[in-house]
A and B are shown apart, each in its own frame.
Chain A
Amino acid sequence: MNMVKPLGVGFAGAGPVTQAIHLPTLAHLPDLFAPACVMDVNGDLAAAVAAGAGARFVTSLEAMLADPAVDVVAVCSPQQFHADQVIAALRAGKKAVLCEKPLANSADEARAIAEVSAETGIPVILGAMHVFDPAWSAVKDMLGDLSPRARSIRSSIVLPLNDRFENWATEVTRRPEMAFSMPGEMTPDVIRQMFHTLILGLAVHDLPLVRAFLPDWRDLQIWSARQLAPFGYLIAGHAGGRAVQLAGTMHGHGEAYWDLEVVTDTDLLRIRFTPSYVHGGSAVATITDASGAVRQIGPFDRNGYVEEWRALHAAAHGDHGAVPSLDTVAEDFDFVIDVANKASASAIGELS
């Protein structure tokens, strides 16, 4: 029997994403990964999370990167630290890096990550669970047929607040305080910040999938962008003759609807995703044709989280084809930033 030692994982950041997403996911993959080190500037938090995971804890990235038991790094810190921490992990010669969404704060940072990854030959994958979802992977195999015929693309994310899903996935240690107050005055700066937060925090999950149906995504024009109360966005636009609607909002009740819909001349593709933090299998895709016949893809027992870690494992062992190229990831990020910039400009224009 060929026994391969599991890769040791170092976590940069010990918040709910590490606790409720990645540690429960690694429990599905004991032959591939073992938590090795948890880093957080809050030593008590790092210690508590590490104790639960059977790992050691540190309070600095340098200390974690110096740990020889850490083979791969998962960057789960606040997004302003992503680029620096990913690049530091690459420079430290780790086998692979998983970075939570968004990859960076700017297109320049994303390009810098891509350059260092190319220079070091170390793969970086973005923790975009929908990109790795098995149902989406199956749909991707049909993109050659579906994408050229797409007429409209619609992303609808209607979710309860995260805490209920976090609480079902784990026992969260020290949840950060959520600031959820509306600003007093909607100035252009407030609108710009709000749209960037919403797009990079919520819409970002589906935008790589939306882009797959928009070959002319660089020509995106926004017709309308509105903020939805109390926390959400509604954006309509078009690119290459295809209409796009992006809606995302969070609410106070329990039902979750997370759909991506694509209308072609003869088919309606609908992918229904599970909410974030749920370890319950994949999305379900349905393709309805003109006769009303429905072809269903999924659910599969693995979700996108498991698949992204499996891809990371393969990439860490030299199979770089297992993960999207960083050029693709960087283009996805360009699209995310483009949507955020153009939507906020549209919303500011409407304000005036």
Chain B
Amino acid sequence: MTLPLTIAAEAPGLQQRLRKTLATLPLSYRAPDDRADASVMLIAGNGDWAARAAAAIDAGARGVIIADPGITDAGSILTLADRAERAGAVVELAERYAGDPTLLRHRADLIQHLAATSTILMSQVGAFATPAHAALDMVRTAHALGQPLTLTHVWQVSHAVVVRGTAGEKLFEGMATSGSGGAGQRIDALGFGRTLRLSLRGDGSASPSDLRIANAKGERKLSPVFESVDRAAWLRAHAAVDGGQSDGQALRQFADAVTMIQAL
């Protein structure tokens, strides 16, 4: 039987997000009587989120969930990874694109098909705080797809940023544009015998993303997962807390991505 964890949000701005996800996990999570007693803290991924997450762990949280983690000091992220491991606490990243439940469900299949492609194009539409934040979203998705993406170039105009790099032998180019209509991330992976077209919604809802693989046999749509990014992240966090799995590896990869982008 699953024992519920108590969860609270660090900031008033996260309350609605907390309530919506809490309502979908009535057996796994409960709201605490006193916010200070929460075993899991929901942390907004803006500003110095790594420092705030570390503070929550220092205050006794067994787990923290970072909602849409963005660019922050890479050293603070590494410090958080170390501190979480020492405390046996879980840090889960709820990333709007890289944490997409449909993408994660089919990750192994996608990685296998991506091996037969030579170019990855990414187009992202949505609000972003800075070009570096937009680049981070694209890099994280590439990493979630098992691509060892290294960015080499970044260019920008007032409302768009273009990044270029390599993922092993593959050419990568991504363009992010600030806009409110048709928000999402689209990935086109091109190969002579295979094409992948992944449309990630990134809106935090349970509406599924659309993933398609085309080859000589035709186009195959991968089965959708009607689950929100947050719900999936909360479940992972619950399983990790239950299992006592405190692993800072994901945070260290995140820090590497931040460092790479800031070096451009």
Verify A243–B162 contact, CB threshold 8 A.
yes
Verify A228–B190 contact, CB threshold 8 A.
yes
Verify A223–B125 contact, CB threshold 8 A.
no
Verify B164–A224 contact, CB threshold 8 A.
yes
CB distance from A190 to the nearest CB of B (A): 19
Task: Identify A253's interface contact among B157, B162, B214, CB under 8 A.
Answer: B214
- Can you list 30 A-B pairs, Cβ within 8 angstroms, ordered by A? A151-B177, A152-B175, A154-B123, A156-B188, A223-B153, A224-B155, A224-B162, A224-B164, A228-B190, A236-B162, A243-B155, A243-B157, A243-B175, A245-B173, A245-B175, A249-B119, A251-B192, A252-B192, A252-B216, A253-B216, A254-B218, A255-B219, A261-B123, A263-B125, A263-B181, A265-B180, A266-B179, A267-B179, A268-B181, A288-B181
On whether A270 and B182 interact (CB within 8 A), knowing A243-B157, A249-B119, A255-B195, the answer reads yes
A224 to B194, CA, bound (A): 25
CB distance from B74 to the nearest CB of A (A): 26
How extensive is the interface on chain A, given as a class? Answer: 35 or more
Verify A257–B197 contact, CB threshold 8 A.
yes
Q: For window 136-185 of chain B, which residues contact chain A by CB distance below 8 Å?
A: 153, 155, 157-162, 164, 171, 173, 175, 177-183
Verify A223–B155 contact, CB threshold 8 A.
yes
Top-10 shortest CB links A-B: A268-B182, A243-B160, A255-B214, A288-B182, A290-B180, A267-B181, A152-B177, A151-B159, A263-B177, A223-B155
Task: Identify A242's interface contact among B119, B160, B193, CB under 8 A.
Answer: B160
CB distance from A8 to the nearest CB of B (A): 43
Verify B197–A236 contact, CB threshold 8 A.
no
Verify B175–A236 contact, CB threshold 8 A.
yes
- Does chain A have a CB within 8 A of B204? no
A287 to B179, CA, bound (A): 13
- Does chain A have a CB within 8 A of B215? yes
On whether A268 and B216 interact (CB within 8 A), knowing A241-B157, A263-B182, the answer reads no
Name the residue among B155, B160, B177, B180 with the largest chain A CB count within 10 angstroms: B177
How extensive is the interface on chain B, given as a class? Answer: 35 or more
Verify A152–B192 contact, CB threshold 8 A.
no
On whether A266 and B160 interact (CB within 8 A), knowing A223-B155, A243-B175, the answer reads no
Verify B160–A158 contact, CB threshold 8 A.
no
Q: For window 2-60 of chain A, which residues contact chain B by CB distance below 8 Å?
A: none
A288 to B219, CA, bound (A): 24
- Does chain B have a CB within 8 A of A111? no
CB-nearest residue of chain B to A231:
B192
- Does chain B have a CB within 8 A of A226? yes
Verify B171–A228 contact, CB threshold 8 A.
yes
**Contact surface of B with A, Cβ cutoff 8 Å:** 118-119, 121, 123, 125, 153, 155, 157-162, 164, 171, 173, 175, 177-183, 188, 190-195, 197, 214-216, 218-219
CB distance from A254 to the nearest CB of B (A): 7
Name the residue among B118, B119, B180, B181 with the largest chain A CB count within 10 angstroms: B181
CB-nearest residue of chain A to B163:
A236
On whether A228 and B160 interact (CB within 8 A), knowing A254-B216, A255-B218, the answer reads no
B residues in contact with A152, CB < 8 Å: 159-160, 175, 177
Verify A249–B162 contact, CB threshold 8 A.
no
A236 to B215, CA, bound (A): 27
Verify A229–B118 contact, CB threshold 8 A.
yes
B residues in contact with A158, CB < 8 Å: 188, 190, 195
A residues in contact with B190, CB < 8 Å: 158, 228, 232, 249, 251
A290 to B125, CA, bound (A): 11
- Does chain B have a CB within 8 A of A238? yes
A290 to B158, CA, bound (A): 20
B residues in contact with A251, CB < 8 Å: 190-193, 195
Task: Identify A228's interface contact among B119, B123, B162, B164, CB under 8 A.
Answer: B119
Determine the main DSSP class of B at the interface with A: strand
CB-nearest residue of chain B to A270:
B182
A252 to B190, CA, bound (A): 11
**A246-283 interface bits toward B, Cβ cutoff 8 Å, 1 = contact, 0 = none:** 01010111110100010111111010000000000000
- Does chain B have a CB within 8 A of A230? yes
CB-nearest residue of chain A to B162:
A236
CB distance from A152 to the nearest CB of B (A): 4
B residues in contact with A267, CB < 8 Å: 179, 181-182
CB distance from B122 to the nearest CB of A (A): 10
If A245-B162, A251-B193 are given as contacts, then 9 extra A-B residue pairs at C-beta distance below 8 Å, sorted by A number, are A223-B162, A241-B158, A243-B157, A243-B160, A251-B191, A253-B193, A253-B214, A263-B177, A270-B182
A residues in contact with B175, CB < 8 Å: 152, 154, 236, 243, 245
Verify B179–A234 contact, CB threshold 8 A.
no
A residues in contact with B123, CB < 8 Å: 154, 245, 261
- Does chain B have a CB within 8 A of A163? no
On whether A236 and B164 interact (CB within 8 A), knowing A152-B159, A154-B175, the answer reads yes
A72 to B119, CA, bound (A): 44
Verify B162–A257 contact, CB threshold 8 A.
no
A88 to B179, CA, bound (A): 49
Verify A234–B121 contact, CB threshold 8 A.
yes
CB distance from A26 to the nearest CB of B (A): 32
CB-nearest residue of chain A to B118:
A229
Verify B192–A265 contact, CB threshold 8 A.
no
A residues in contact with B125, CB < 8 Å: 263, 268
CB-nearest residue of chain B to A290:
B180
